[in-house]
Structure formats: structure tokens, C-alpha cells
């Protein structure tokens, strides 16, 4: 009961803050919105959004459990992800695009870390989804570890076409990586063991899987 009440209080406080920030952004009061958002970051993790975006996911998870029991780590992590996405929106509204992208990438990395650890995790409605964060970063060259996390996530969730897109983004960044070529071939071989219905549901019909595997082999022969 103590844990549930603690979480509910945290969620309510963050929800009220987010509503206030969004109202101020809509009214073009970005300075006031920034003050509110910075205070929420300080309350949750003791750092501002720019500092948070420079920490690794492991470091952030350690910070989140510094003063609280580990049982609330997941909930605090989801709140931090939500704050990072809101910071990204605010920075974009202020024309601070590089900072906006850094906050959003960190939100994506942290969410990938959590969901890869707990595949069945049900996200509250206020938490951004991985696909939405990725879409918002469509024009950004993502770090390789982020792409690798997305590749694993999309395959696990049956979004096979998106997984393939990420694989080729990795190959474009690392064209001579023999281990990546090998993992890519194994990925396609796993897909070929799926049913036609599953592949169709993942927007990657069997013929496209076979074509992708052939293209990967061709790329490998040139590497």
C-alpha cells in the first residue's frame, strides 16, 4: 500500500506539472514552462534535462534508486522518460534543436532498456511509445547502440519491416562489420521460420524477406 500511494503521488504531481508546462507552451510562455520542467527533473532525479541526457542508462537507473527503494525504479524511470520527451518538445519550441534531439534520444534509449528487460511491461498512457519517439527522430542519425536496441525491439514485437529498416541503417553506418552481416543473415533466417500470416502482419511478406536476405548476401560479398 505504501508503494502504491507513493507512486500515485508521484504520477499525480508529474501529471499536474505536464499540464502546466503544455499550457504555458501553448501560450508561448516557454521561460515559465522551462522553470516548471527543470524543477520536476530536480525533484525526480536531482539533475536538469541536459545533464540527464549526458548520462548512460545504467547511471540514470542508479540515480533513480539513490534515495528510494528499488521497487519503485520502473515507475520513476517511466516518469523520467516522460519528462525527457516533454523537455524535447519544449527545446524544439524554443528552437534549440540539438538539445531537443539529445533529450528525445535519451528518452528512447531509457525506454528501450526498460522494455527489453520487461517485454510484457504495460506502459501508462502518459508515457511516449518507442515507435513514436523513433518517428520523431526520423531525420536524425541515431547512435549505433540506439539502432541496435530498436532492431531487437521491433523484431520482438513483430514489427518486421521496421526491424529491417533499422538493420539497413546499421549496415549503412557499419558496412564492413562482418559480425553485423552475420547477425543480419541470422535475423532473416529467423523470419523465414515465421508463418506467412506473421510476416504479413509485420508488413514484411516472405518474398520481401527473401529479397532482403539476398541483398544482404550481396552486400556481404562486397564488404
Same domain, 128 and 159: no
Among 136, 171, 194, identify where a domain stops. Answer: 136
Same domain, 60 and 128: yes
Q: Is the pTM of this model over 0.75?
A: yes
Same domain, 130 and 214: no
The whole-number pLDDT of residue 145 equals: 96
Among 80, 105, 136, identify where a domain stops. Answer: 136
pLDDT in tens, 34-87: 998 998 888 888 888 889 989 998 888 888 877 665 567 788 888 899 999 999
Quote the percentage of the chain above a pLDDT of 70.
93
Same domain, 154 and 60: no
- The DSSP symbol for 124 reads P
pLDDT in tens, 18-30: 888 888 888 888 8
Among 105, 120, 136, identify where a domain stops. Answer: 136
Same domain, 159 and 182: yes
Amino acid at each position: 500500500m505504501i508503494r502504491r500511494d507513493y507512486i500515485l503521488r508521484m504520477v499525480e504531481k508529474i501529471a499536474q506539472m505536464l499540464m502546466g508546462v503544455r499550457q504555458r507552451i501553448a501560450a508561448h510562455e516557454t521561460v515559465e514552462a522551462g522553470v516548471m520542467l527543470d524543477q520536476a527533473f530536480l525533484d525526480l532525479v536531482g539533475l536538469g534535462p541536459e545533464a540527464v541526457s549526458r548520462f548512460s542508462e545504467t547511471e540514470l537507473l542508479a540515480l533513480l534508486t539513490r534515495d528510494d527503494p528499488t521497487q519503485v525504479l520502473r515507475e520513476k524511470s517511466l516518469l523520467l522518460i516522460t519528462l525527457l520527451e516533454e523537455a524535447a518538445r519544449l527545446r524544439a519550441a524554443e528552437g534549440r534543436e540539438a538539445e531537443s534531439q539529445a533529450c528525445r534520444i535519451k528518452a528512447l534509449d531509457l525506454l528501450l532498456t526498460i522494455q527489453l528487460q520487461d517485454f510484457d511491461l504495460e506502459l501508462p498512457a502518459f508515457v511516449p511509445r518507442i515507435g513514436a519517439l523513433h518517428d520523431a527522430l526520423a531525420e536524425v542519425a541515431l547512435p549505433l547502440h540506439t539502432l541496435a536496441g530498436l532492431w531487437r525491439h521491433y523484431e520482438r514485437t513483430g514489427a518486421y519491416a521496421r526491424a529491417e529498416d533499422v538493420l539497413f541503417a546499421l549496415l549503412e553506418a557499419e558496412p564492413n562489420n562482418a559480425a553485423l552481416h552475420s547477425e543480419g543473415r541470422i535475423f532473416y533466417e529467423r523470419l523465414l521460420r515465421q508463418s506467412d500470416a506473421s510476416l504479413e502482419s509485420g508488413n514484411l511478406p516472405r518474398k520481401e524477406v527473401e529479397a532482403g536476405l539476398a541483398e544482404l548476401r550481396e552486400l556481404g560479398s562486397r564488404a
